[in-house]
Structure 1
Amino acid sequence: MPRVTIGLTTTAVAAALLALAGCSGDDGTDRGVPATTTTATSDTRVVAPGRPGETAATIEPGEGIEITEGGYTETDVRFVEQMIPHHRQALEMAELAADRAQDERVILVADRIMAGQGPEITALENWLEQRGLPVPAPDATHDHALPGMISPLQLDQLANASGAEFDELFLTYMSQHHAGAVDMAAAALAGGTDQLAIDMATDVSVTQGIEIDRMREILDSL
């Protein structure tokens, strides 16, 4: 569906973009693709939704309207390609719960993460493939500089734990991991333009925010 572009970049948007590490490709190039913009005259009164956090605008009959279609920014690309290894580590952590967790609630949280983030990885990979962009290799080393990612030492610590110790570590590390994903999604929502990438970032923000609250509730009750 065509996007209607209205309004200006705000200070809040600029601040949120700082959470996304790297605003250009590794070689310094911008991999964004400009959108196609056309101008039309509205025949009827139109309510144009704003960007996330912005209010809608009303366009009266006879007023000009800019319709933006297609295109994506470097911010979109970075969010998608970075969320893939981020999700992969979450799955690696969640898979440990089946035979190490003691609390049934922890197992349920882990199962929910695997059920949700597995398909999301496929969607993220498809986004890159459809735009002719490389997909991070399945065996690529995790980028531990990404927000929320745990270190190899912490991952080994989790893998070597069991029972109540595993439950506490899992909930602590996964809450940290999810919080990082929410930060990445906030930056994508602030600086992205591709509607599918924005939808995926919105889903990450909402879903993982809810899961953080649930994990903290369980952690407090242990």
Structure 2
Amino acid sequence: MPRATPGTTAAAAAALALLTLAGCSGGGTDRGIAASTTTATSDTRVIAPGRPGETADVIEPGEEIEIVEGGYSEVDIRFVEQMIPHHRQALEMAELAADRAQDERVLLVADRITAAQGPEITVLENWLEQRGLPVPPADATHDHGLPGMITPLQLEQLTNASGAEFDELFLTYMSQHHAGAIEMAAAALSGTDQLALELATDVSVTQGVEIDRMREILDSL
């Protein structure tokens, strides 16, 4: 069972970094909802998982357990709101590969991105809807000032390329895009919602692996 833990200076800095990003929502009002906290006494030895990147706690019989359930913070909301358009642009870029890429490895990378980020967008949208929060519109522009997002001019350049030129541009731009997502995910780890934290951790790990693969391919072109 999760336990409340004091924030660190690094976590506070990460939260500030996320909150200062240009987002899909305006204003500085905290739209989060505090979690409910209850206290219980453990009658058995319990392993309480830590937050992503933290070690688990061991709770011995007779010790009190602070149980935190529900709740989410402005950091969680901003991460979800901003990751939706970020993922949408990645899908738009990946879809171009089908009839423009020359290297089979590029096609495989694009297919993997589509298979992973398409369902993640649905999860992110559902997260907002379940909390009565608006989902960023499908026709939202890509110029959000978010880390890693390519410009309309770069997207046009990618759209007009084909063959080896497309492969090089795709791998370069998508690596940049993924690095931005990892930056956003790192800031989100100061949030409080468990699902948002899990999504941020998954983004960081998965896209880190994909960056390494894309750089390998780019070096061999």
Q: Shorter-chain TM-score category? A: over 0.9
2:36 corresponds to = 36
Q: Distance in 2 between matches of 1:53 and 1:115?
A: 26
Q: Distance in 1 between matches of 2:11 and 2:60?
A: 27
Q: State the Cα distance separating 1:57 from its structure 2 match.
A: 2.0
2:195 corresponds to = 196
Q: Distance in 2 between matches of 1:87 and 1:207?
A: 13
SS in 2 for 1:119: helix
Range 86-95 or range 24-33, more displaced: 24-33
Query: Does 2:117 match 1:117?
Result: yes
Gap runs ≥5 in structure 1: none
SS in 2 for 1:30: coil
Q: State the Cα distance separating 1:56 from its structure 2 match.
A: 2.0
Gap runs ≥5 in structure 2: none
Q: State the Cα distance separating 1:76 from its structure 2 match.
A: 0.6
Structure 1, residues 129-184: CA drift from partner, whole Å, max 9, x if none?
00000000101112431010011111111111111111111000000000111111
Range 21-30 or range 110-119, more displaced: 21-30
Q: State the Cα distance separating 1:67 from its structure 2 match.
A: 0.1
Q: State the Cα distance separating 1:26 from its structure 2 match.
A: 1.5
2:14 corresponds to = 16
1:205 corresponds to = 204
Count matched residues. 219
Q: Distance in 2 between matches of 1:114 and 1:51?
A: 28
Q: State the Cα distance separating 1:18 from its structure 2 match.
A: 3.9
Structure 1, residues 10-43: CA drift from partner, whole Å, max 9, x if none?
2222233343143896122101010000011111
Paired residue type of 1:171: L
**Segments of 4+ in structure 1 off by > 6 A?**
none
SS in 2 for 1:20: helix
Q: State the Cα distance separating 1:118 from its structure 2 match.
A: 0.9
Q: State the Cα distance separating 1:196 from its structure 2 match.
A: 1.1
Paired-residue identity, %: 80
Q: Distance in 1 between matches of 2:55 and 2:110?
A: 37
TM-score by length of 1: 0.93
1:215 corresponds to = 214
TM-score by length of 2: 0.94
Q: State the Cα distance separating 1:46 from its structure 2 match.
A: 1.9
SS in 2 for 1:96: helix
Q: State the Cα distance separating 1:60 from its structure 2 match.
A: 2.0
Q: Aligned ranges for residues 1-222 of structure 1 at < 5 Å?
A: 3-5=2-4, 7-22=5-20, 26-189=26-189, 191-222=190-221
